[in-house]
Amino acid sequence: MKQLWNKKNSFFLLTILTALFLAACGGEEEATEKTEDEATAWDAIVEEGTLTVATSGTLYPTSFRAEGTDELTGFEVEVVREMAERLELEVEFTELGFDEMLTSVQTGQVDMASNDIEISPDREDHFLFSEPFKFSHGTAIVRSGDHSGIETLEDLAGKKAAGASTSIYMDIAREYGAEEVVYDNATNETYLRDVSIGRTDVVLNDYYLQTLAIAAFPDLDIVVHPTLKYSPSKVGVVMNQDNTELADNVNRVLSEMLEDGTIAEISGEFFNGADVTEEVEIEE
């Protein structure tokens, strides 16, 4: 009887140990698969040899087509090209409207977006940003004669503000009671001409972009508001929140490019000699 018990007990113990061993193996396999999944996004980029990047192609001088050519260029386009080259990757640009860019990053249709996208706490809750490589502040394009009746941000109430629905600047316009007018990846000329003819009243945007946009269309009855300055900003490229390995590699290369002056040199080419890598201080 004792011998029978021992055999049963041994069999029972062996069953338990086998189950534990299989469970451990399964857990190890699951952990291995999870690690592989985490690395998949970056590994796929390296294996493919191509970095896919969303940009507008209509935002001078950040991302646009050079006059008389079909060549995509601009400050951030060239920064991304140099960054990709240092990562030993080709770069493939996809031209999208601003709102579509962020969706495409979030759904993994592209690896990143680069289009003067401001770093904000709300966006950082949903995306990974590179370290900033452009610093600026907000201003306003208004009609020359009366500044569209706007002297302070409070005067935006009831005015028609043109821009992308999900931009930081449209958030500001809404906050101060402006009526938003949204375009589908329109060119700078469309935005500016509509202010000039009174279809809209104001375009809130980045100081450097506004200044150069105005200079490109001297025939229009518009100016950069002489005193309205607000919201110091910083810009980086945007990546999917899960793609931390891509972000690490991007930041490593951008740090090199900032340190060796490459981005400052590209800035001078597109911003009329200005170095946008220098932080801006304004009184709010």
Q: Which CATH architecture has domain 135-232?
A: 3-Layer(aba) Sandwich (3.40)
Q: Which residues contact 213 (CB under 8 A, 6 or more apart)?
A: 60, 141, 188, 191, 192
Cα–Cα distances (Å) from 262 to 64, 87, 239, 259, in that order, read 20, 15, 22, 8
Q: Which residues contact 82 (CB under 8 A, 6 or more apart)?
A: 257, 262, 266
The CATH superfamily label for domain 47-133+236-270 reads: Periplasmic binding protein-like II (3.40.190.10)
Same fold for the pair 47-133+236-270 and 135-232: yes
Beta pairing, strands 134-143 & 230-235: antiparallel
Q: Looking at the predicted structure, is the pLDDT value of residue 248 above 90? A: yes
Q: What is the pLDDT of residues 36-48, one digit of tens each?
A: 545 568 999 999 9
Burial class (CB in 10 A: 0-12, 13-18, 19+), 179: middle
Q: Looking at the predicted structure, is the pLDDT value of residue 282 above 70? A: yes
Query: How is the chain split into domains, by residue range?
Result: 47-133+236-270, 135-232
Q: What is the pLDDT of residues 204-240, one digit of tens each?
A: 999 998 999 889 899 999 999 999 999 999 999 999 9
Task: Tell me if the bond preceding 61 is cis, omega within 30° of 0.
Answer: yes
Q: What is the pLDDT of residues 78-130, one digit of tens each?
A: 999 999 999 999 999 999 998 899 999 999 999 999 999 999 999 999 999 99
Q: Looking at the predicted structure, is the pLDDT value of residue 280 above 50? A: yes
| The model scores a pTM over 0.85 | no
Angle made by CA atoms 200, 172, 185, in degrees to the nearest 5: 55
